Each structure stands twice: as C-alpha cells, then as structure tokens.
Structure 1
Amino acid sequence: MQNLAGKTIAILATDGFEQSELEVPRDTLRQAGAEVHVISLEAGEIKGWDEDDWGRAVQVDKTLDSVTSTDYDAIVLPGGQINPDLLRVEQSAIDFIKAFWNEKKVVAAICHAPWLLVEAGIAKGRKMTSYPSVKTDVINAGAHWEDSAVVTDQGLITSRNPGDLEAFCEKIAEEINEGKHERRAA
C-alpha cells in the first residue's frame, strides 16, 4: 500500500452500509497514514449490514452539514443495498459527491454505491463496474460497464464486491497520490 501520510479521506455512509465495505477501506487507508473520517447525515453511530443481517455500529466522525469537499483529498462510498439507496435521495449527499468530482478529486465506489454516481450524474461516459444487480442502472446512465474487479477512469474508482477490497484500497491510494485528474472523456 502506498503511503498516504498527510492525506484526508471522507467515507460517506448511513445505516445499512455493507460492514466490510466501510471498515476495510477505513482501516486500510488509516494504516497507510491517511486521516479518515466517517461522515453521515446525523451524529452518533450508523449501523452496518453484515452479509445477511444487521452488523456492528460504527462511530460517525463528522456530519455531512459540518464538512465540505475542500477538507478532503478523496471520497469513498461503501455499498450494501440499503446505504446507497438511502443516500441517493439526500440532495446534500449527492452535492457532496459531485463536489469531489468537480474538483477533480478521487471518487471511489464499491458494490451498490455506483447508484450514487448515477444519481450525481458522474457515470455518463465513464468506464465503471458495480455489483451485477446494479449493472443495468449504470449502463442506462451512460457508463461503459466492465465485468472487472476494479475499474479506474481518471480518478473514478469502482469495484464489484467485498471480495475485491484489497485491490480497491490499493487503487484508491495510487489515485490519491497521482493528484487531481483531468477528467478526459472515457
């Protein structure tokens, strides 16, 4: 894993995030030296989903209304079926994600989280992957869907599922260290 000392990363999530898709990137990126904040709609804790039942709670570090994209070098969007579905109807969450994209920063989404990229208008013309059940939504949004573990397109990182978390985290570190991305057409 590349060194991320001096980098700050936002993980945007709410109740129903897939447990490993939040905890593994959070812990891995912290171990690489990054400061990582779990950001949610409300203070306190959010509860994860662990495969087929409710999982552990995770402490929220900051609320969405108390941060801006300029505070961070990248945003990570964990999946799970519930989490991105709840967030994609929250305009403040969509605006937060769009701000990272517009500032040419790294945007990373795993599993069902590409729904948020679709909602934010980021998918069109991009190479992406997702959990298979989200494939049609991603294609209908104008993305070029690939059946790959991790797909990167000019600072946009997408990953299929929790089995690909190590490669997903490695790619996040690599893309952050590359700096801002020009966002050429896919």
Structure 2
Amino acid sequence: MTTDIQGKTIAFLVAPEGVEQVELTEPWKAVEQAGGTPRLISTDSGRVQAFHHLDKADTFAVDSTVDVSSIEEFAGLVLPGGVANPDYLRMQPNAVAFAKGFFEAGKPVAAICHAPWTLIEADVVRGRTLTSWPSLRTDLRNAGATWVDEEVHVCTDGPNTLVTSRMPDDLKAFCQQTVEVLKG
C-alpha cells in the first residue's frame, strides 16, 4: 500500500438513490489504497442505494450530510456517476453549493460519467475542457465547456484541477489520475 494521500479526507458526494455502484466503490478503494480517508456525503442521512445500471445493488452508510459538512474538512471531492445520481443532486441547492465550494476553495474535483451534470448546475465548467458520458456533450458545450472524447481528462484551466472520465470502462485511468491529483 502506498501512502500518497496519507492523512487526507476525500468527500464522495452521492444522492440517496441512483449512484452507479462501481463508480463509487472503485475510486473509494483507490483513495483508501493510497492512504486517504473517503467519506460518503449525501443530502440525507442513513443509507444510499447504489445501482448496477438500472438494477438495485448494495446500500452504503452515509457519513455526513451536505448541510452539516464543511469544504474545509476535505482535501478533494469525488462525484460518482449513474444517471439518477447527478440528476437528483443538481436539483438540490445544498449539494450544488457543496460541489461549487470545492472550486471556490481551489480543491481538486473528480467526476465520472453523468456526474458533470452537477458541475453544470454549479456553473463551474465554463472555459474548461472535460469529458463525460457522451450524451452530456451538448449540455457541457451549452454550459461553456469544451468536451473531449477521452478515457480521462485532467483540466488545470481554472481555480482547481478537475479530473473527468466517460464511463465505468475508464475507471482504472480515472482512479489513477484522481489519486495523482489528490497528492497535491
């Protein structure tokens, strides 16, 4: 085990239902293996329901909620995908403000699949280059971003570093780049 991010706590922001399980669990493991401490943040306390595409999967205990969590507690933010997860989060002002706070604080953010929907709502993609699930291409362009079709893209054009990936098939590269960026 390496200790690349030893002592750093990383927020994983998810909706009460709809996160793509593998996009939560693989980056979570990567953070742990690098010596970091992942924390599950949601809009509601209790447990979140993950999915394998459209089928219910496991549930996970929430560590804290966005209304009581502070950006200062965390070294970075990971936004897992799934269609329902970011679609719900972008309609929750506290969740959008939480995500936006990482940009305002200059802290790294990693988002995969449909997760950039939350970033569009937070108005933090304008002038930045990123990737996502292909169906978000037009949404991102309309929000002022440049969309690229890449396995993983690291954008440093802004107040913080933003790591994005397209889909579960890209998780290995996404996890590697996320840990690299979290090293600081």
- Do they fold alike, i.e. is TM over 0.5? yes
Q: 1:8 aligned to 2:14?
A: no
Measure, in 2, the Cα distance between the counterparts of 1:63 and 1:98.
Answer: 16
> Number of residue pairs matched?
178
Could you say which residue in structure 1 is the equivalent of 2:104? 102
Deviations 1:97-124 (A, max 9, x none): 1110011100111000010111111111
Identity score, percent = 43
Correspondence for 1:78 among 61, 77, 80: 80
Measure, in 1, the Cα distance between the counterparts of 2:87 and 2:53.
Answer: 17
Q: 1:56 aligned to 2:62?
A: no
**Superposition deviation, residue 52 in structure 1:** 3.0
List alignment gaps of at least 5 residues for structure 2. none
**Superposition deviation, residue 2 in structure 1:** 6.6
List alignment gaps of at least 5 residues for structure 1. 179-186
Q: 1:160 aligned to 2:160?
A: no
Deviations 1:74-132 (A, max 9, x none): 00001100000000010101111111001110011100001011111111110100001
Contact preservation (8 Å) 2:7, 2:35: yes
Measure, in 2, the Cα distance between the counterparts of 1:135 and 1:91.
Answer: 23
Could you say which residue in structure 2 is the equivalent of 1:175? 181
Cα 1:20–1:122 shift into 2, 3 Å: same
Q: Which amino acid aligns with 2:182?
A: I
Measure, in 1, the Cα distance between the counterparts of 2:115 and 2:54.
Answer: 18
Could you say which residue in structure 2 is the equivalent of 1:182? none
Measure, in 2, the Cα distance between the counterparts of 1:24 and 1:111.
Answer: 14
Measure, in 2, the Cα distance between the counterparts of 1:3 and 1:157.
Answer: 17
Could you say which residue in structure 1 is the equivalent of 2:89? 87
Q: RMSD of the alignment, in Å?
A: 1.1
Measure, in 1, the Cα distance between the counterparts of 2:3 and 2:170.
Answer: 17
Cα 1:121–1:2 shift into 2, 3 Å: farther
Correspondence for 2:70 among 68, 71, 83: 68
**Superposition deviation, residue 166 in structure 1:** 1.4
Give the structure-1-normalised TM-score: 0.92
Deviations 1:29-48 (A, max 9, x none): 11211011000111111001
